[in-house]
Structure 1
Amino acid sequence: MVKQIDLSRVDINLLVLFEVVLQERHVGRAADRLNLSRSAVSHGLGRLRRLLNDPVFIRTPKGVVPTDRAIELAGAIAEILDRVRSVISTAEPFDPAMSSRRFIIGAPDGVSAVILPPLLETLRQNAPGIDIGLRQLSPMPGETSVERAWRASFTELEAHAMDIAILPVEQIPPRFHRTMLYEEDFAIATRSGHPYTMCPSLEHYCALQHLVVSLAGDPYGFVDTALAELGQSRRIALTVPNFMFALAVLSETDLVAALPRQFVARYAAPFGLVLHEAPLPLPQFRLNAVAPKAALLDAGLVWLLDVLSGAKRVGPTTQARR
């Protein structure tokens, strides 16, 4: 027979303490966030150890590290706290027109640039008191698997570093909800009047100097993999850390780049750029808004997901050329 736990003896604040210490990995910083003294946090950790029958956090010269048991419990505790927060938030119905909440959205910069204009317009019309924080997400350097490349984003969602993550992944852990926002593929971007316009062949494309967006400066990407399958290669003359910088460089040079079509289409005109169909098959993918399933009890978060999925994605465009 399963032993019945007397919940009246359990202080939920200990779970909050667990969450904050896990995020900060430092007793002093956790104390500052919780507006407590270091001794109060240390005392709370002692109670938490007795409650969970585990050391939970091990002290080191640089802070604390979680035990294996703490890491094992982290997901369940985050879900419990999400549900408690959601229950409390539903005590007062969510009204976007009157709300003054602030949501954090994580996304790669090329995606943020696509979703932000329609999102801001919706907020201006329907939710003028709501604020948005954008958190730039990047794949893990050197990771070839798309799903594994973005796994840190799931950890950040569970740590409440952001409310929603917009990711180019299809396979997500079952504890997360996914809403498809839009489909994306790649096109070749050049400045207007670029020589490539006159001869958009694979041979000409490979002979040009290329720009690649890479936060880590890695001069190899999915295009190189596709070219290698055709027995071709290219010269990557420049890597830059973000997509908006790439547009500025392309507008003033003869470099070419394979970039997300909807992103370039929105900003092609201001930068004087032209889109061309790729001379080789390139990947297509979906952008999905991801949030913990437990967080869907929050009516405000559900509203934001609906806004993101319903907003028009692309504004003024420059027609792709063949």
Structure 2
Amino acid sequence: MKDIDLSRADLNLLVLFEAVLQEGHVGRAAERLSLSPSAVSHGLGRLRRMLQDPVFLRTPRGVVPTARALELALPIAEVLSGVRRVMAAAERFDPARSRRRFTIGAPDGVSAVLLVPILAALGREGPGIDLDLRQLLPKPGTVDPRRAWQAVLDDLEVRAIDLAIVPLDEIPQRFAAQTLYEEDFVVAARAGHPFSADPSLELYCEMRHLVVSLTGDAHGIFDEALAAVGRSRRVAVTVPNFMQALALLAGTDLLAALPRHLVEMHAERFGLICVEAPLPGPATRIQAVATRAAMMDPGVAWLFRVVGQAGPDDVPPRSFGMSGTRPDEPCTGPLKSE
């Protein structure tokens, strides 16, 4: 193998590569690295010469990586991860004094449940630590959960995110994982909705429904279960996120099958009730996931522990909105975290 003169290589260019790849924008990468946009552009020129490739191509909305850049993304992430481990070992991580910034990825239905207790825990243990939250989305039209969330595992391996929180039961052995809580689905509706007095399958099928779908696909989680018993429902509207769904339910007669913890946490704020579904729905584990390589970083290991201890039960009971005595609130309280 030809010897490479590493004395002429600039590690900062790999850090620049990582920032531009993750941000997809020269200006945002410059802000993240505390550099001027011209300095980043100059660095990209040096990076192109070093790698003998254009690396990033300009578009009206930012930059996109070339095929060669995508091939190099994982090897460069591994190099930087190793350097960070060396640096972390040389300097003890102290959350009480640290000014690090971590990136957590989660679907909006999960972050709406966990972000408040996570921030509270950070305030207690790491008041100078900041978070970037990235919305994670399953691959559209994919039934197999492992394939639906494969892109998230890929993002973890290239360190695009430090930690992911995903509804996935089976995690490959190369990742560290811990269950935060178990999730199932309930039917949510405005307070006083007729369905609360007669939560039957017959009435459920007669009502108009709301489905959360980023792509506008009206096929929801309960449609296959309904088809199995020879029934169907009318999906009158789709919305792209769970918080919008809660707001829309509050002012309409729509029904929606939503995650139990999400509804219990925000029901009082939106004036909603939740009712047990008239037929069995899917259940899953919500898990925190990080690569085992990333866990060698004391900061990531600390974050992993903090997130694991900050379950939905850490939110004050009043915020669940399910502790009243109204007869139209048949749902049980929040499930206990494992």
The corresponding residue for 1:48 is 51
Once the two structures are superposed, residues 71-130 of structure 1 have per-residue CA deviations (whole angstroms, 9 ceiling, x without a partner) of 444323212211211221332222222222222211111111111121122223232222
The corresponding residue for 1:225 is 224
The corresponding residue for 2:247 is 248
Q: 2:130 and 2:28 mapped to 1: Cα distance?
A: 26
The corresponding residue for 1:111 is 110
Q: Tell me if the contact between 1:28 and 1:38 (Cα under 8 Å) persists in the aligned partners.
A: no
Q: 2:54 and 2:102 mapped to 1: Cα distance?
A: 31
The corresponding residue for 2:66 is 66
Q: Tell me if the contact between 1:212 and 1:257 (Cα under 8 Å) persists in the aligned partners.
A: yes
Which amino acid in 2 is paired with 1:321? P
Deviates more, 1:177-186 or 1:166-175: 166-175
In the TM superposition, residue 10 of structure 1 has moved relative to its aligned partner by 5.3
Change (3 A) 1:44 1:254: closer
Deviates more, 1:170-179 or 1:21-30: 21-30
Change (3 A) 1:21 1:284: same
Q: 1:253 and 1:261 mapped to 2: Cα distance?
A: 20
Q: 1:67 and 1:76 mapped to 2: Cα distance?
A: 14
Q: Tell me if the contact between 2:209 and 2:255 (Cα under 8 Å) persists in the aligned partners.
A: yes
The corresponding residue for 1:198 is 197
The corresponding residue for 1:97 is 96
Q: 1:303 and 1:148 mapped to 2: Cα distance?
A: 29
SS in 1 for 2:262: helix
Change (3 A) 1:27 1:250: closer
Identity of aligned residues (%): 52
The corresponding residue for 1:76 is 75
Change (3 A) 1:26 1:122: closer
Change (3 A) 1:17 1:243: closer
Which amino acid in 2 is paired with 1:146? P
SS in 2 for 1:128: coil
Q: Tell me if the contact between 1:105 and 1:166 (Cα under 8 Å) persists in the aligned partners.
A: yes
Q: 1:28 and 1:311 mapped to 2: Cα distance?
A: 34
Which amino acid in 1 is paired with 2:66? P
Q: Tell me if the contact between 2:180 and 2:311 (Cα under 8 Å) persists in the aligned partners.
A: no
Q: 2:185 and 2:108 mapped to 1: Cα distance?
A: 15
Q: 2:64 and 2:122 mapped to 1: Cα distance?
A: 41
Q: Any residues of structure 2 matched to 1:239-318 within 5 Å, and which?
A: 239-314=238-313, 315=315, 316=317, 317=320, 318=322
Change (3 A) 1:30 1:200: closer
Q: 1:101 and 1:59 mapped to 2: Cα distance?
A: 30
SS in 2 for 1:220: coil
In the TM superposition, residue 179 of structure 1 has moved relative to its aligned partner by 2.4
Q: 2:97 and 2:27 mapped to 1: Cα distance?
A: 37
Unaligned runs of 5+ in 2: 324-328, 332-338
Q: Tell me if the contact between 1:23 and 1:159 (Cα under 8 Å) persists in the aligned partners.
A: no
Q: Tell me if the contact between 2:181 and 2:285 (Cα under 8 Å) persists in the aligned partners.
A: yes
**Are 1:321 and 2:323 matched, yes or no?**
no
Once the two structures are superposed, residues 145-196 of structure 1 have per-residue CA deviations (whole angstroms, 9 ceiling, x without a partner) of 3222223323433444432221112344554332221111111112222111
SS in 1 for 2:245: helix
In the TM superposition, residue 14 of structure 1 has moved relative to its aligned partner by 5.1
SS in 2 for 1:152: helix
Which amino acid in 2 is paired with 1:66? T
TM-score by length of 1: 0.84
Q: 1:61 and 1:193 mapped to 2: Cα distance?
A: 51
Unaligned runs of 5+ in 1: 50-54
Once the two structures are superposed, residues 43-72 of structure 1 have per-residue CA deviations (whole angstroms, 9 ceiling, x without a partner) of 4333334xxxxx58487888675346x544
Change (3 A) 1:136 1:26: closer
